[in-house]
Amino acid sequence: MHKSSERTEPRGKCRRVAAWMATVAALVWFASTGCGGCNIGGAGEDFVAGYNTDVFTFAVSADPQTLDPSRMSGAPEGRIAFNIFEGLMAPGPTTEGLGEGESVVVPGVAKDFDVSEDGRTYTFYLREDAKWSNGEPVTARDFELSWKRVLTPGFDGDYVQILWVIENGEPYSRGELDDWNQVGVRSIDDRTLEVTLEEPTPYFPELVAFYTFYPVPIDVVEEHEERWTRPENIVSNGAYKLTGHRPQMDMVMEKNPHYWDADNVSIEKAIARIIPDTNAVVNAYRTGALHYSGASIPVAQITSLMTHPDYYNEPMLGTYYLRFNVSDDNALADPKVRRALWKAIDRRSLVEDTMNNLYDVADAYVPPMAGWESGAEFPGYDPSRARELLAEAGYPDGEGFPRFQYLYNTDEDHKLIAEAIQSMWQRNLGIEIRLVNKEWRTYLQDVSTLNYQIARAGWIGDYNDPSTFLDLWRTDNGNNNTGWSDEEYDELMDKARTEPDPERRLEYMQRAEAILVDRGPIVPIYYYTNNVLVSRFLDGFEPHNRDIHLLKYMSLRDPTETNPSGE
């Protein structure tokens, strides 16, 4: 495990006597007033999470672009979807100490499943008590129709290709096959779903725990069309149901009484406050308006918070990088230019100085994971060679180089990185880059429509396998959004997808990553860690390398019944 990915001291251990005394005083005062719940004062050094709210409250960094799980692709959307919907399998409470795909998920709508000897056919057995939030049963047919919707030619979703693991899923999706009966999805009866894959896919149980594989209520979708996800219309099948949504303000989720495991869901109601500014998130946490910060807190604030008992650090299966739009006939279409820009970035300085050494310098694109070793030759920081490459491309000392825009979504850390890179390119190459900051939805729209030149990006793995990172750069992947296409890369990824031998499969992906690093449209910067604030009185919040923390696993204790360290 890399140094910056290590856990801090166990959460709940108080680190300052002054902080301990402040909490004691607050608890004594609180108990004497006879108030209930978490309504205790806590401003100052030892602020107490949630003392200004009666409902479990957390932050999301943006208003979701969509709440349709079949269409979504962003982290803010996913944080809601994982709570209001559920797949055949569900993300488990933690990934700590776990390696294989099947071990990081638990039974969801399916209580069990079988796998054929050749590893291609999965038979899922659904729970009899699995229901939608309107009380109607969730059936195998609901899954079949939902997956058919995603695979229908022309469906507007970034993750359509993730269902191509299903037999004949790709030709059906491309419009090359009209007969749905030839696609490997069959609802045998209400409680039995049979899925046949193109090739053995050991991580398939983890795939069906991802939101693109979630069921949607087709009748409700057809009735309300794009408005089906509004609180007054939405029907879902997760532990919670959406009961309120004020755009750019908040979303309200309440316990779903029809959920199959409702008796074990402790938190009755939760509010997700939409706060794009991470400094504002910290302020809201300090003043008792939040129990959980939701996203990583700004680097500038972490130093003063690392000794607080609510500070929490966990490793992440993710990479922070830059993406280049190479679709136009401009300077960025030249691999020499991209390599020059890459070599002019001092990634170690970005991590150690700009980001206060809270992350790991990326030495490849795919982050560290069990069973994976990168074979890519990573370009190092070399300003002299960067200038030579730029000159070879026709821009000596940056002369004549276009003034590109660098796009990033609203976030203090993204701004720090952008400003540092802007300075490095100006100093090392003599080029000027204009920084452009946009809110989440507009940023996503600009990236998806290729309305940018250079953009910051981040990718958190959707499952624990290198393909979740490398499939992204196939020519026709819905999340590519760079205009980059490489025939050799696509061929290697095709071979990896159909290769039954695990070692040879990894070799194909290693060669593909080497191509991506050498001539692709990206510049990896660092591997993520998650630095958040979580109430010391919240039980069930465990390390997860994809930052999936389901509310159904959590419970909130009364601070008056707890000692100051939260134990």
Residue with tokens 């918070």: 305
Residue of 93, 48, 533 lying closest to 295 (CA atoms): 533
Burial of residue 257 (CB within 10 Å: 0-12, 13-18, 19+) is exposed
Unique residue bearing structure tokens 């020059």: 340
Separation of alpha carbons 468 and 479, rounded Å: 11
Q: Which CATH number fits domain 75-228: 3.40.47.10, 3.40.50.720, 3.90.76.10, 3.30.1280.10?
A: 3.90.76.10
Please state, in angstroms and as integers, the Cα–Cα distance from residue 61 to each residue in 112, 295, 296, 379, following that order: 35, 7, 10, 33
For residues 20 and 153, give the distance between their C-alpha atoms in angstroms, rounded to a whole number: 60
Residues 182-225: pLDDT tens digits?
999 999 999 999 999 999 998 999 999 999 999 999 999 999 99
Name the residue with higher pLDDT: 2 or 164: 164
CA of residue 96 relative to chain centroid, distance = 17
Give the residue with greater pLDDT, 365 vs 32: 365
What's the pLDDT band for 470 if we cut at 50, 70, 90?
very high
The per-residue pLDDT for range 276-332, each reduced to its tens digit, is: 999 999 999 999 999 999 988 998 888 889 889 999 998 899 999 999 999 988 899
Distance CA 131, CA 371 (A): 38
pLDDT digits (tens, 9 = 90+) for 147-185: 999 999 999 998 999 999 999 999 999 999 999 999 999
- Work out the number of other CB atoms within 10 angstroms of the CB of residue 188: 11
| CATH class belonging to 316-528 | alpha beta
DSSP state of 457: E
pLDDT digits (tens, 9 = 90+) for 21-33: 333 333 333 333 3
* Phi and psi at residue 312, to the nearest 5°: -140, 130
**Contact (Cβ atoms closer than 8 angstroms) between residue 366 and residue 513:** yes
Residues of the chain with CATH 3.10.105.10: 316-528
pLDDT on residue 515: 95
| CB of 148 closer than 8 Å to CB of 222 | no
In whole angstroms, give the CA distance from residue 501 to residue 43. Answer: 58
Rg of the chain over Cα atoms, rounded to whole angstroms, equals 24
CA-to-CA dists, residue 9 to 253, 313, 532, angstroms: 32, 9, 14
Kindly give the residue spans of alpha helices, DSSP state H, lying in 196-259.
204-207, 218-224
Rounded to the nearest 10 degrees, how much is the dihedral formed by the CA atoms of 345, 351, 354, 357?
Answer: -160
What secondary structure does DSSP assign to 459-495, as a single string?
Answer: EE-SSSSTHHHHGGGSTT-TTT-S----HHHHHHHHH
Average pLDDT of the residues of the chain: 89
Q: Residues 92-108: what's their mean pLDDT?
A: 79
Residues of the chain with CATH 3.90.76.10: 75-228
Average pLDDT on 543-567 reads 83
CB–CB of 560/48 below 8 Å?
A: no
* Mean pLDDT, rounded, for 402-422: 95
441 token code pair = 């939805």
Percentage of the chain beyond pLDDT 90 is 79
Q: Is 321 helix (H, G, I), strand (E, B) or coil?
A: strand
Provide the token pair at 555.
């419970």
